[in-house]
C-alpha cells in the first residue's frame, strides 16, 4: 500500500492524534482465460496424418535407442556440473496466462461469430420465490449440468476460455460479452463433454452481457432467482472453469460481501454483487448461486493485486434482477434498449397511510412521463402495485421489472385520504 499523507508527528511535536490515510489502486480485470491453441477447437477438422508403413516402426525404435544413449550422456554431464548456469526454455517461452495485460477490453475488434435471427419468443425469467435451502452437494448437482465451457477462437490463433449458463432447454446460453468479443468462432462444451458450435444472438460490451445459442434440445436449464432478495452475509456459490478447460466444473463458495456495489470499469459504472467466493480467469460468464440452487448473478470480474496492494476475495457478479430486461433485449433485438420506466421517484423508506398500511411517498414526477400521464402527483402515496403491498422502494422496482414497454402497471394511489387506481402505460427510458 501507498502510505503517503500520513502526517506522522516528529520528535518534539504535539501528541495530538493525526489522521492516517492509506491510498491504493487495485486493478479490476475481467476473469477470462486466454491461451494459444495447442489443438483445434472442438468441431474444427483435424489434420489427416497418413498411416506409416511398418518399416517406420523400426526407424522409430532405433531413434528411441539413440535418444536413450544421448540422454544418459547428458544426465551424467549434468550431474557433474557441466550445465551449472543453464535455464530450461520452459521458464520463458510459454505464454504467461495471468499477465494482467493479456486481455484488453478496449480493443476486442469486430465480433464475427455467426449471428442468428433475433426473436421475441424466448425470454429469461427469474423466480421471486424459492423452495427449501439445499446442501452444497445438492446445489452442485442441480447447477453444474447447466454450466458450460465457452471457447472463442480469435483470428490471431488464440482462444478465450470462459463459462456460460444454459437458460432454455433448446440451447440459449448466457455469458459475458468479454468472453466472446472480437471472436470469429465460438464453441460450447457441456459438462458431459459434448461440444457444439455456437451462434450469437446479441452482446453488449458496456453491460458485459452476451447471449449465444447451440443447436441442441433437452438440455438442463438453470433456475434463475431474485438477486434483489440477497443480503450481505448470505452464502453464495460459483461454478466455472478457472484457468481454462482442465479444471472445468470447479465449485467455490463464499458470502455476499456487498450489494449494489458501484464499480468503475473502463470508464463505465457497473452496479454489481460483491462476493468473496474464489473467482479466477475462466470463471467469466459463470453462475453465482444462492442457497436454493438459483442463479442470481453472472460472475464477471475480480479486483486483482497491484505492485503496492495485495488483494484477496474481491469478486463481482452482474445481478440477474436488474439485468433480465437487458438479456431479453439481446435475444429480441441483438442489443440493449432502454429500461422501462414509471416516470416517478419515491422515498426509499416507507411511510404510513391513514389506515396504517405501509406506502411509498412520491417525491418527484417526470413531466410528460408515464406516471404524470396516469395522474400521479408529487406527495401521493403508492399503496400497492399490481395488487401487491409495498413495504420498501425495491418492491415497486421488482413489480415494474416484470413488465415490458407498452404494458400497463396498476398502482393503488392515496391522495388526501382518498384512493384511486392509476393505470401507468410503461415506456422505455431514453438511456
The catalytic residues are: 178, 208, 284
List, in order, residues 6 or more apart from 16 with CB less than 8 Å away: 9
Q: Which helix (H) or strand (E) holds 393?
A: helix 393-400
Q: Which of 280, 272, 268, 240 minimizes the C-alpha distance to 256? A: 272
CA distances for 144 relative to 105, 293, 311, 388, angstroms: 28, 10, 28, 35
Q: Which of 333, 340, 343 is nearest to 374 (CA)?
A: 343
Q: What is the DSSP string of 48-98?
A: PPPPPPTHHHHHHHHHHHHHHHHHHHHHHHHHTTTTTT---GGGTSS--TT
Distance from C-alpha of 255 to C-alpha of 230, rounded to nearest angstrom: 10
Running DSSP on this structure, what letter comes out for residue 402? T
Secondary structure (3-state) at 322: coil
Q: Are 271 and 261 in contact (CB under 8 A)?
A: yes
Amino acid at each position: 500500500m501507498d502510505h503517503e499523507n500520513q502526517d506522522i508527528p516528529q520528535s518534539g511535536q504535539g501528541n495530538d492524534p493525526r489522521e492516517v490515510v492509506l491510498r491504493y489502486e487495485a486493478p479490476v480485470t475481467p476473469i477470462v482465460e486466454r491461451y494459444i491453441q495447442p489443438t483445434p477447437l472442438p468441431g474444427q477438422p483435424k489434420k489427416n496424418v497418413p498411416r506409416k508403413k511398418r518399416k517406420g516402426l523400426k526407424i522409430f525404435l532405433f531413434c528411441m535407442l539413440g535418444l536413450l544413449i544421448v540422454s544418459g550422456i547428458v544426465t551424467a554431464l549434468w550431474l557433474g556440473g557441466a550445465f551449472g548456469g543453464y535455464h530450461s526454455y520452459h521458464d520463458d517461452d510459454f505464454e504467461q496466462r495471468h499477465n494482467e495485460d493479456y486481455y484488453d477490453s478496449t480493443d476486442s475488434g469486430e465480433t464475427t461469430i455467426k449471428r442468428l435471427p433475433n426473436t421475441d419468443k424466448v425470454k429469461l425469467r427469474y423466480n421471486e420465490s424459492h423452495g427449501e435451502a439445499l446442501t452444497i452437494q445438492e446445489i452442485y448437482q442441480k447447477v453444474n449440468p447447466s454450466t458450460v465451457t465457452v471457447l472463442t477462437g480469435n483470428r490471431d490463433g488464440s482462444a478465450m476460455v470462459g463459462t456460460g449458463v444454459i437458460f432454455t432447454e433448446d440451447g440459449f446460453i448466457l455469458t459475458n460479452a468479454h468472453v466472446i468479443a472480437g471472436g470469429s468462432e465460438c464453441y460450447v462444451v457441456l459438462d458431459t463433454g459434448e461440444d457444439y458450435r455456437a451462434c450469437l444472438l446479441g452482446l453488449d460490451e458496456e453491460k458485459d452481457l452476451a447471449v449465444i445459442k447451440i443447436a441442441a434440445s433437452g438440455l438442463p436449464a438453470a433456475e434463475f432467482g431474485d438477486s434483489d432478495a440477497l443480503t450481505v452475509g448470505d452464502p453464495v456459490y460459483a461454478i466455472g472453469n478457472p484457468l481454462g478447460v482442465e479444471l472445468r466444473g470447479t465449485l467455490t463458495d463464499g458470502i455476499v460481501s456487498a450489494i449494489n456495489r458501484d464499480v468503475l470499469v473502463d470508464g463505465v459504472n457497473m452496479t454489481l454483487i460483491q462476493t468473496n467466493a474464489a473467482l479466477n480467469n475462466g470463471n467469466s460468464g459463470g453462475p453465482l448461486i444462492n442457497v436454493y440452487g438459483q442463479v442470481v448473478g453472472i460472475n464477471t470480474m475480480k479486483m486483482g493485486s497491484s505492485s503496492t496492494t495485495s488483494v484477496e476475495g474481491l469478486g463481482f457478479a452482474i445481478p440477474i434482477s436488474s439485468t433480465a430486461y437487458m438479456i431479453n433485449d439481446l435475444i429480441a433485438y441483438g442489443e440493449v434498449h432502454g429500461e422501462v420506466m414509471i416516470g416517478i421517484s419515491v422515498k426509499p423508506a416507507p411511510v404510513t397511510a391513514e389506515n396504517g398500511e405501509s406506502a411509498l411517498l412520491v417525491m418527484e414526477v417526470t413531466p410528460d412521463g408515464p406516471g404524470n400521464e396516469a395522474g400521479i402527483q408529487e406527495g401521493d402515496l403508492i399503496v400497492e402495485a399490481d395488487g401487491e403491498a409495498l413495504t420498501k422502494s425495491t418492491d415497486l422496482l421488482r413489480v415494474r421489472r416484470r413488465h415490458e414497454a407498452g404494458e400497463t402497471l396498476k398502482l393503488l394511489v392515496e391522495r388526501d385520504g382518498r384512493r384511486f387506481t392509476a393505470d401507468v402505460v410503461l415506456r422505455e427510458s431514453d438511456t
